[in-house]
C-alpha cells in the first residue's frame, strides 16, 4: 500500500472521467440493454415490446440451427487451440535447442501476428481457392475433390488452417518465454542421470510448462471463439450451408442481418456467460500461479 | 538443453521448415502482386517475383483500386492509419490517466472505479453487438472517425499494466518530489513519464496492431465506402463468382493491408515481445 499520495480530491475524478464515460456508454449500457432485450419480445416494427421471461433462451436453446452453431464452434475452437498450441510448442522447443540464429527465426515466425484475421483468411483462400489457388491445384491433380466454397468439410479445414496460422506467433513467443524460465540445473541433472532428451521433455519440461500451457489454452479458446469472426465472415460467410457458422457469427447474422432482436440478445447473454467463465477461470488460475512463484 | 550436433542440425531443419510454412502465405501474396491477372489465374503461380510489379502498384495507386472499391487506396491507408494511431494513442492517454488517478490519489470509490474498468475485460464487442450499434446510431456516430475510434479506446489491459507499473514506483520518489514542491502534473511530466517510456512503446505496438486489424467494429459502424478501412475494402473487392475481378490489384491491396503492421512488429520487435508477454501475463 502506498503511503504518500497527492491530497487532491477532484483531480482524480477528472483523470478517470474519460475512461469511465467510455466504459459506461459503450460497455455497460449496451450490455445492460442486451440483458433487457433477452427477456423481452419486440414486434417486427420495434414499436412495442413485452416481457417474456426466459422464452427467448428456451427458443434459442431448442433451435437446431443454434445447436449446430454450438457444435461448429466446439469443433472449430478445439481444432484451432490444439493445433496452434501443438505446433507452437514444437517450434519453441526446437528454437530453444538452437544457439545461433534464434532471433532470425523468431522474426520470421512473428509476422502472422500483425496480419488481420480477415486478411489471414483471405490469404489462405487465395492459396486454396478451387479456381486458381496454387496449393489447391496439386490437390486437384491428385484427384482430390477439393472445394472449400461448396463443401463444408473443406471450408472448415480452410478456416481452421488460417486461424491456426495466425495464432502460432503468439503462442511461440509465450512458450519460448516459458522455456527460458525453466532452471537449466534440472535439465543438466537429468542428463547426468542418463535420461534421454525425449524423456526429460515429458517428465521435466512439459510439467513445468503447464502454467504457460494452461494460460495459452484459455487465451486460444477466447481467440477461437471471438477474434476469428473476421476469418469466417471474409472466407465462408458461415457457409456452405451453415457448416462454418460459429456462435459469434450467428449473433452477428441474427441481430444485424436478419434483425431477430430477442434471439440475438439471448445469444449475446449466453456468450457473455461464456466469456465471464473463461476470464474468471484464467484469473483464478493466475492468482494461484503467483502464489506458488 | 544439452543438445548434440545432430540434434541442433535437426532443430535448424525444423525451424526452417516452420518458418517457411509460417511466412509462405505472406510471400505468396507478395509474389502474386507482381504478376499479371492472366498469370495469377493460371496455377501454379511462379515462385519468383514477376515483371508486373511496377505496373500493378502504379495502377493501384493511381486510381485502379478506386475503380473497384469506389475509394482510392490512399484514402483507405489514411483511414486505417488514423484509426490505428487514434486507438493506440487514445488508449495510452486514457488508461495512463486512470491508472495515475487510482495509484497516486486516495478518494472514495477508488477500488470500485478500478473494478468497473477491470470488468470490461469480460464484455468484448462480440457479446453486445446489437445494443452497441444502437448507441452509435443514437449518438450520431455512424460513419465517423469518432465512432470508429472512441468505443475501442477503453482498455482494461492497458490500465492494468500501467497500474501495475506505477505501483512499483518507490514511495521515496514521490515523497522527494513533493518535498521539492512538485504537484501531480510536474511529478508526472518530469519523473513518471520518462520512467514509463518502455511500457508506453510496448503498449503502442500492441494497440497499433489491434487498431489496424479491427474488422467487426468497422463493419458495423461504417456504411459509406469513404470510411472503409483497408481490411474491409479488401473484403469487398473479392468475388470468386465474378470473372472480372482484377486479382492483381486485389493482391496489391492485400500487400498494402499487411505491410504496415508487419513493419511495426518487426522494427519494434523488442518492445512488441515485451508488450505481448508482459501485458498478458
How does DSSP assign chain A, residue by residue? --S--B--SSHHHHHHHHHHHHHIIIIIHHHHHHHHHHTEEE-TTSS-EEE-TTHHHHHHHT-HHHHHHHHHHHHHHHHHHHHHHHHHHHHHHHHHH--SSHHHHHHHHHGGGGS-HHHHHHHHHHHH-TTT-TTHHHHHHTT----TTT-HHHHHHHHHHHHHHHHHHHHHHHHHHHHHTS-HHHHHHHHHTT--HHHHIIIIIHHHTHHHHHHHHHHHHHIIIIITHHHHHHHTTT-STTTT--HHHHHHIIIIIS--HHHHHHHHHHHHHHHHHHHHHHHHHHHHHHHH-
CB contact under 8 A, A34 and B26: no
Give the residue on A whose Cα is nearest the Cα of B167.
Answer: A2
Q: Does B19 touch chain A (CB under 8 A)?
A: yes
Local structure of residue B125 (DSSP, 8 states): G
Give the residue on B whose Cα is nearest the Cα of A140.
Answer: B43
Q: Chain A contacts of B104, Cβ < 8 Å?
A: 2, 5-6
Q: ipTM surpassing 0.90, yes or no?
A: no
Distance from CA of B210 to the nearest CA of A (A): 9
Q: Does B149 touch chain A (CB under 8 A)?
A: no
- Kindly tell me if the per-residue pLDDT of A267 is higher than 70: yes
- Kindly tell me if the per-residue pLDDT of A292 is higher than 60: no
CB contact under 8 A, B8 and A99: yes
Q: Chain A contacts of B175, Cβ < 8 Å?
A: 4
- Kindly tell me if the per-residue pLDDT of A93 is higher than 80: yes
Residue B279 confidence (pLDDT)? 58
Provide mean pLDDT across the span B59-65. 80
Average per-residue pLDDT for chain A: 85
CB contact under 8 A, B128 and A6: no
Average per-residue pLDDT for chain B: 86
- Kindly tell me if the per-residue pLDDT of B20 is higher than 60: yes
Residue B194 confidence (pLDDT)? 92
User: In chain A, what's the furthest Cα-to-Cα distance?
Assistant: 78
Provide mean pLDDT across the span B174-197. 89
* pLDDT digits 0-9 by tens, B222-265: 888 888 899 998 888 887 666 677 888 888 999 999 999 999 98
- Kindly tell me if the per-residue pLDDT of B273 is higher than 70: yes
Distance from CA of B16 to the nearest CA of A (A): 8
Residue B281 confidence (pLDDT)? 44
CB contact under 8 A, A131 and B240: yes
- Kindly tell me if the per-residue pLDDT of A171 is higher than 80: yes
Q: Are B56 and B34 in contact (CB under 8 A)?
A: yes
Q: Chain B contacts of A285, Cβ < 8 Å?
A: none
Distance from CA of B143 to the nearest CA of A (A): 16
Q: Chain A contacts of B18, Cβ < 8 Å?
A: 87, 90-91, 94, 105, 109
Partners of residue B105 on adjacent β-strands:
A6
Q: Chain A contacts of B183, Cβ < 8 Å?
A: 6
Neighbours of A84 (CB within 10 A): 26
Q: Label residue A45 by pLDDT band (50, 70, 90).
A: low
Question: Considering only A280-289, B107-116, B134-143, which range has the smallest mean pLDDT?
Answer: A280-289
CA-to-CA distance for B62 and A160, rounded, in angstroms? 36
Distance from CA of B62 to the nearest CA of A (A): 23
Q: Label residue B66 by pLDDT band (50, 70, 90).
A: confident
Task: State the best of A56, A84, A116 to mutate against chain B, taking most chain B CBs within 10 Å.
Answer: A116
Provide mean pLDDT across the span B120-127. 80
Residue A293 confidence (pLDDT)? 33
Residue B7 confidence (pLDDT)? 80
Q: Chain A contacts of B23, Cβ < 8 Å?
A: 108, 111
Provide mean pLDDT across the span A175-187. 85
Residue A159 confidence (pLDDT)? 94
- Kindly tell me if the per-residue pLDDT of B196 is higher than 80: yes
- Kindly tell me if the per-residue pLDDT of B85 is higher than 90: yes
Give the residue on A whose Cα is nearest the Cα of B120.
Answer: A27
Provide mean pLDDT across the span A148-159. 87
Q: Percentage of chain A with pLDDT > 90?
A: 24
Provide mean pLDDT across the span A87-93. 92
CB contact under 8 A, B18 and A87: yes
CA-to-CA distance for B265 and B274, rounded, in angstroms? 12
CB contact under 8 A, B174 and A4: yes
Q: Does B171 touch chain A (CB under 8 A)?
A: yes
Neighbours of B50 (CB within 10 A): 18
Residue B243 confidence (pLDDT)? 66
Range picked from A132-146, B48-62, B82-96, B134-148 for highest mean pLDDT: B82-96
The grid coordinates of residue B190 equal 518530469
- Kindly tell me if the per-residue pLDDT of B95 is higher than 90: yes
Residue A201 confidence (pLDDT)? 84
CA-to-CA distance for A244 and A76, rounded, in angstroms? 8
Q: Are B249 and B132 in contact (CB under 8 A)?
A: no
More confident residue, A203 or B97: B97
Q: Chain B contacts of A98, Cβ < 8 Å?
A: 8, 11-12, 15
CB contact under 8 A, A165 and B22: yes
Q: Percentage of chain B with pLDDT > 90?
A: 25
Q: What is the pTM of this model?
A: 0.89
Question: Considering only A139-148, B27-36, B105-114, B210-219, which range has the smallest mean pLDDT?
Answer: A139-148
Q: Chain A contacts of B133, Cβ < 8 Å?
A: 256
Burial of A287 (0-12, 13-18, 19+ CB in 10 A): exposed
Provide mean pLDDT across the span B81-109. 93
Task: State the best of A29, A97, A293 to mutate against chain B, taking most chain B CBs within 10 Å.
Answer: A97
Looking up cell 490444439 gives: A82
CB contact under 8 A, A8 and B105: yes
Amino acid at each position: 500500500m502506498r503511503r504518500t499520495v497527492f491530497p487532491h480530491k477532484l483531480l482524480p475524478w477528472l483523470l478517470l472521467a474519460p475512461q469511465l464515460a467510455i466504459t459506461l456508454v459503450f460497455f455497460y449500457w449496451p450490455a445492460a440493454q442486451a440483458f433487457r432485450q433477452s427477456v423481452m419480445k419486440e414486434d417486427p416494427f420495434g414499436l412495442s415490446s413485452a416481457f417474456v421471461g426466459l422464452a427467448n433462451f428456451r427458443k434459442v436453446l431448442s433451435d437446431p440451427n443454434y445447436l449446430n452453431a454450438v457444435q461448429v464452434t466446439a469443433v472449430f475452437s478445439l481444432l484451432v487451440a490444439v493445433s496452434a498450441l501443438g505446433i507452437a510448442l514444437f517450434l519453441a522447443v526446437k528454437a530453444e535447442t538452437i544457439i545461433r540464429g534464434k532471433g532470425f527465426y523468431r522474426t520470421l515466425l512473428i509476422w502472422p501476428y500483425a496480419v488481420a484475421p480477415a486478411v489471414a483468411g483471405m490469404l489462405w483462400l487465395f492459396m486454396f481457392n478451387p479456381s486458381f489457388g496454387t496449393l489447391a491445384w496439386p490437390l486437384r491433380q491428385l484427384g482430390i475433390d477439393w472445394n472449400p466454397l461448396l463443401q463444408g468439410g473443406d471450408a472448415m479445414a480452410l478456416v481452421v488452417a488460417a486461424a491456426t496460422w495466425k495464432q502460432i506467433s503468439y503462442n511461440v513467443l509465450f512458450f519460448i518465454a516459458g522455456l527460458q524460465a525453466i532452471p537449466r540445473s534440472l535439465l543438466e541433472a537429468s542428463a547426468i542421470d542418463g535420461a534421454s532428451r525425449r524423456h526429460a521433455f515429458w517428465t521435466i519440461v512439459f510439467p513445468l510448462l503447464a502454467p504457460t500451457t494452461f494460460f495459452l489454452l484459455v487465451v486460444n479458446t477466447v481467440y477461437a471463439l471471438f477474434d476469428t469472426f473476421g476469418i469466417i465472415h471474409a472466407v465462408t460467410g458461415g457457409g456452405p450451408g451453415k457448416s462454418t457458422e460459429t456462435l459469434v457469427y450467428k449473433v452477428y447474422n441474427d441481430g444485424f442481418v436478419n434483425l431477430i432482436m430477442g434471439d440475438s440478445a439471448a445469444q449475446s447473454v449466453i456468450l457473455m456467460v461464456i466469456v465471464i467463465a473463461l476470464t474468471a477461470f484464467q484469473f483464478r488460475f493466475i492468482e494461484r500461479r503467483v502464489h506458488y512463484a | 538443453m544439452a543438445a548434440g550436433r545432430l540434434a541442433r542440425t535437426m532443430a535448424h531443419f525444423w525451424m526452417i521448415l516452420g518458418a517457411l510454412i509460417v511466412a509462405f502465405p505472406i510471400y505468396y501474396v507478395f509474389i502474386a502482386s507482381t504478376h499479371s491477372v492472366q498469370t495469377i489465374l493460371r496455377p501454379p503461380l511462379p515462385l519468383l517475383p514477376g515483371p508486373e510489379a511496377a505496373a500493378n502498384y502504379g495502377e493501384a495507386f493511381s486510381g485502379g483500386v478506386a475503380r473497384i472499391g469506389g475509394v482510392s487506396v490512399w484514402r483507405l491507408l489514411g483511414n486505417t492509419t488514423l484509426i490505428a494511431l487514434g486507438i493506440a494513442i487514445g488508449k495510452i492517454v486514457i488508461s495512463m490517466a486512470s491508472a495515475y488517478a487510482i495509484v497516486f490519489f486516495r478518494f472514495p470509490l477508488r477500488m470500485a472505479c478500478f473494478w468497473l474498468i477491470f470488468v470490461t475485460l469480460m464484455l468484448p464487442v462480440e457479446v453486445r453487438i446489437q445494443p452497441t450499434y444502437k448507441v452509435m446510431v443514437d449518438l450520431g456516430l455512424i460513419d465517423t472517425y469518432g465512432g470508429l475510434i472512441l468505443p475501442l479506446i477503453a482498455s482494461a489491459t492497458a490500465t492494468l499494466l500501467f497500474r501495475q507499473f506505477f505501483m512499483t514506483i518507490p514511495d521515496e520518489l514521490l515523497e522527494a518530489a513533493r518535498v521539492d514542491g512538485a504537484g501531480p502534473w510536474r511529478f508526472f511530466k518530469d519523473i513518471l513519464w520518462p520512467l514509463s517510456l518502455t511500457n508506453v512503446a510496448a503498449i503502442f505496438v500492441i494497440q497499433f496492431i489491434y487498431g489496424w486489424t479491427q474488422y467487426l467494429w468497422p463493419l458495423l459502424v461504417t456504411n459509406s465506402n469513404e470510411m472503409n478501412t483497408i481490411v474491409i475494402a479488401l473484403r469487398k473487392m473479392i468475388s470468386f463468382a465474378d470473372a472480372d475481378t482484377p486479382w492483381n490489384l486485389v493482391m496489391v491491396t492485400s500487400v498494402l493491408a499487411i505491410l504496415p503492421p508487419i513493419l511495426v512488429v518487426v522494427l519494434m520487435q523488442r518492445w512488441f515481445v515485451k508488450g505481448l508477454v508482459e501485458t498478458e501475463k
